[in-house]
Amino acid sequence: MHLVRMIVIASLALAYCHTSMAGLLMLPDPRWEPIVDNVYLQAVSQRIESDQPLTSVAIFHGRAYAGSAAGLFRMEDDSLVPVDGITGPVKKLMAGPRALWVITAEGLDRFDGTAWKTIHTGGISDMCLDGKKVIVAIDKALFQVAGSTTLRPLSKDSNRPILGVAAYGGTYYVHDGSKIGLLADGAITYQYIADWGTLQRGSTIRDILGLGSRLIVATDEGLGILRGMTWYAIQGEDGLCYDDTTCLAEGFDRDLWIGTTRGAIRNINDEYQFFGKGRWLPHDQVNAVACGDNVTYIATDGGLGIVSYEPYTLAKKAAYYERWLEEWGHKRLGFVHSLNLIDGEWVREVSDNDVGYSSHYMAAKCFEYAVTGSQEARDEALDMMKSVKWSEEITPIDGFPARSIYNVGEPTLKANHGSGGLPAEWHATPDGVWEWKGDTSSDETDAHVYETMIFLQLVADKEERKWATEHLHRMVGHIVDNGFMLKDVDGKATRWARWDPEYLQTPYGYYARGLNGMEAFNYVTTALYFTGDQKFRAGKEQLLKWNYQGDILRQKLTFHPGYFTHFDDRLAFYTYFSLIQYETDPELRRLWLRSLERGWEIKRIEALPWFNFIYGALTGNDAELDRAGTHLRDWPLDLRKHSYHNSHRDDLQTPQGYRMYSERPKSLSPRETEPNRWDGNFMRLDGGSGGNVVADCGGWLDAYWMGRYFGMISAPQTSDPALTTVPNRGLHVGAKPYSGPARPKLKHEME
């Protein structure tokens, strides 16, 4: 790993030849180990809905079959079609090496790929495979299918009905719904099963499965594991996502799939992964699971959920998301937008904060250019920086940036709300072509400083540096000249963009004095670094006289649950990123670093890569990059915000080594929730929008390319283009391409 890190960091020296300045802070000999971009399996979702509950599923000769009360179906393309020969209710399916076995209400049937044959007429409760042997449970006894037409008894009738059977350790185990028994000397016994431990007392057994060294028992109170003659219980506190389990299946990668009454669970490498209704499943109730080659089929009460796994690298995922942004029409006028489904049409949202939200994608293109030298990335970064500058030039107030820009009559979802419950403040330009959104907040000014400084350090040439620096000078200058506030067209301060002492003593501002004070220090410190204007040094001295630094250590609020936010965390890390790099006073820098350490300790439970990478870059400390890499890999390929539900889960305990600072005990994977911007709440248990909103992936790309730039993510460890790129399909599947007027020329372009 040390060799990999040395190679990655050494390669960064080559990246500097693409930049016009010295680049961003690069600490020597960091303590973190880079994420190695090896090939991994990316989960992909598909759902096929059914009018009736699916009771069973199996894979035979590479094709999925599913059973229901209406008979047997096979999967063809994206639908389930009836299979001739089986018309009655199907209870269970099992695929063997030479045949598909079907338990119906009438008996047992066998399909060899060509023809059907009835093996037994009468009630059958369960069956299992033991190598090539087919073992069948009928009433109170076990039988083996002999040849292809007869059943040979294996046991006498026991005194209990046999509801399930499984092969484990050379023995056939059974259950009656409450106890585990086994076949010994031609009889079923429920004694001497284990010497240590017990199965959960009073639990109802739903399924049993032999898997390697274990017999696994699915119950309504979790899993029971029999190893040799010792019982172990697996429940929520052990990581099991939900205890009310229904069925079991061996996976394709030495993994285990577990059905529950509220979703499916995959256990792999001691990790339990949850797949719930919405993105993954058409219904909560899971009745059966079957696994094939890199694919899992999940039979539910609402149809079939299909989780397939495709080989990917993080580099390929970045390319995939770039294609997604183009195909779905997220881009417009140098901004990146989320999408909404309205009356059957996808439209872009012109939001309350387009300039701020777009900052992540712009930063991503800057980092990408610094790493790869891509002219395409540079062109996009330059175009977006011009739109950032346009957001200030479109307003009639020097240094006052707009939140968002709207083309009059454009088919979009136009933000109709403002800050703090106030109405939206849209202002028309004199020519009537555009409207710009006022009442600008600190969200925007933080984003402006973040993206402008990265552009200046990694992309700007001599001429571009002039007007980009001027933009920073005008905006921060407006703030300082107006007593540390943004003043709108009415000459009054906006709702949230205030850093003056009077505001920070009001009920609205008092709780934010740590964050707002840190933002103010960042503005003047960064502006002084790039412009050299001593006005900003004087502004910093004023902040020190106001003693703003006294509240910055605890800028992250935790001491009242109502104060715990996630969107403010993004603003804080925007601020740390430049403030700590450009601070020249060693005492202040120590204070900023201490504040960062405190904020990071609170934030790290969430494993959000952008925060991990900023912390690692600024400190060189261990930044839990393994968890950050998992988060990047867990993002779904489908960026629609499907509904999700996790509040019922039994594994919602704070992980060992972390402290619960908010009302929620653990962070969830984006695979279990939704794709989100870095101001989103990955600790929210339930949410989503039914798939009617599409998230932009600019935040993911910002984190990925930031990680690449700082050497926290390696280049892909394969040269196979199929694993590092995606083909350009030339599709348009989301919002229609923007067709309105182009961005006007900026002032420096007309000089």
Report pLDDT for 566.
84
- DSSP line for 586-601: HHHHHHHHHHHHHHHH
Catalogue the long-range contacts made by 142-146 (C-beta closer than 8 Å, 24 or more residues apart): 142/172, 142/174, 142/183, 142/188, 145/108, 145/119
DSSP 311: E
Q: Is the pLDDT of residue 582 over 70?
A: yes
Average pLDDT estimate for 642-667: 91
- pLDDT the model gives residue 563: 67
Could you give phi then psi for residue 567, rounded to 5 degrees?
A: -65, -30
Sequential DSSP letters for 69-92: TTEEEEEETTEEEE-TT--S-EEE
- The rounded distance, in Å, linking the Cα atoms of 329 and 680 is 22
Q: Is residue 553 pLDDT above 80, yes or no?
A: yes
Res 664 pLDDT > 60: yes
Kindly state the average pLDDT of the residues 99-112.
Answer: 95
Mean pLDDT of the chain: 94
pLDDT at 421: 80
Cβ neighbours of residue 632 under 8 Å, at least 6 residues apart? 35, 314, 317, 609, 700, 703, 704
In tens, the pLDDT along 442-494 reads 999 999 999 999 999 999 999 999 999 999 999 999 999 999 999 999 999 99
* DSSP per residue, 640-671: B---EE-TT-S---PPTT----SSS-----TT
Could you tell me which residue, 563 or 44, shows the higher pLDDT? 44
Q: Taking the CB of residue 207, how many other CB atoms lie within 10 A of it? A: 22
Contacts of range 107-116, beta carbons closer than 8 Å, 24 or more positions apart: 108/136, 108/145, 109/85, 110/148, 111/60, 111/85, 113/60, 113/61, 116/85, 116/86
Determine how many CB atoms are found less than 10 A away from the CB of residue 227.
16
Q: Mean pLDDT over residues 308-327, rounded?
A: 98
pLDDT at 562: 63
Whole-number Å distance between alpha carbons of 209 and 130:
11
Compute the distance between CA of residue 246 and CA of residue 623 in angstroms, rounded to an integer.
Answer: 39
pTM of the model: 0.95
Q: Map out the domains of the chain as residue ranges.
A: 1-39+607-725, 331-461+482-498
Share of the chain above pLDDT 70, in %: 96
462-481 and 534-545 helices cross at what angle (nearest 10)?
40
Residue whose C-alpha is closest to residue 100's, from 130, 64, 125, 124: 64
**3-state secondary structure (DSSP) of residue 499:** coil
Q: How many CA atoms, within 13 angstroms, populate the side-chain half-sphere of residue 326?
A: 13
- Give residue 17's pLDDT: 35
678 — pLDDT class (breaks 50, 70, 90)? very high
Pairwise CA distance, residues 715 & 420, whole Å: 44
- If you search the block for the tokens 């030298």, which residue do you land on? 373
Give residue-wise pLDDT tens across range 517-538: 999 999 999 999 999 999 999 9
- Label residue 6 by pLDDT band (50, 70, 90): very low
